[in-house]
Structure 1
Amino acid sequence: MTAAGEVISDFITDQLETVRARRSSLENRGITVVTSSGVLVTLQFAFASTLYKSSSDPGLSTKILVAISGIFFLAAAVAGVLSNVPRRIFHMNPQSLSEQVSDAFWDAPDVEARKAVAAIRLQVLTSLDEATARKGRVVLIAFGLEIAAIACLASSVIITVFAA
């Protein structure tokens, strides 16, 4: 392989490692959204329980905001789970290597083998990068939903405090 070919092959391999690390990070962030939404919805239930045990009526706007925040927390948790759903990505088919282990190809110059391996890695990289970008969008949506839920819950607390 030429020097340029080696550089390109190494670059593709490095990019594969980077995208795999990014994908793993996004999956961990998705789990974090699920966990934090669970904790925050527990606090929401405690707040709602306190509201309904108090002698005064919390008011319609507070009830609506608490309900909406619960829906947003649920949606955020679902999005967090969806960010960890396995996606279909291109993987090299091991049967496609049967030609490369034939006698005709086995003794060929290594330039052809390196080029074939780099092409396969590039296909995997393209597929993995697209799947990772989708995961990133789902995680971003999950965080947005969680922020919306927190805003609704905080608003209901503020309304309750000032109404008292």
Structure 2
Amino acid sequence: MSNLEVAQVLLPGGAEAEMDAVVLDYEGRFLRRKRLETKAGLAFVVDLEKTTSLEDGDALELGDGRRVAVRAAPEEVLEVRGVLPRLAWHIGNRHTPCQVCGDHLVIRRDPVIRHMLEHLGAAITESERPFTPEGGAYGHGRTHSHEHGATAHAH
């Protein structure tokens, strides 16, 4: 593994359309150290200072200066429509990651949550698409994240 390139720098929002990319699902974009392979077949190791939530459109900078785009992989999700504030409250109350779109919410497929939402009057559509849920309170992503500026919350 010593001859693999190493990425120790995350560039938030630094991806460009023509860059080689790694395509990772929601779980796969939460990492600290991991071997990855790009769409073009370049193997490298991500070795970040702390566990980080990578976002679609970020870039990883390799030791030689090349950049690799981070892309969200399509996943099995549920598109949720209805009275969105009420439905979002119930989804959040169960600590379920949720992507907020203009006229619907998106969550990963979960039969228990689906049943609850249908009981609340939601219209559910199954889909396969990239899943990029909202970050946590104060912009901290899941548990850890890259920083995008000062927040009102400190640990």
TM over 0.5, yes or no? no
Higher relative contact order (CA 8 A, sep 6+): 1
More helix per residue: 1 or 2?
1
Q: TM-score, normalised by structure 1?
A: 0.19
Which structure's CA Rg is the greater one? 1
More strand per residue: 1 or 2?
2
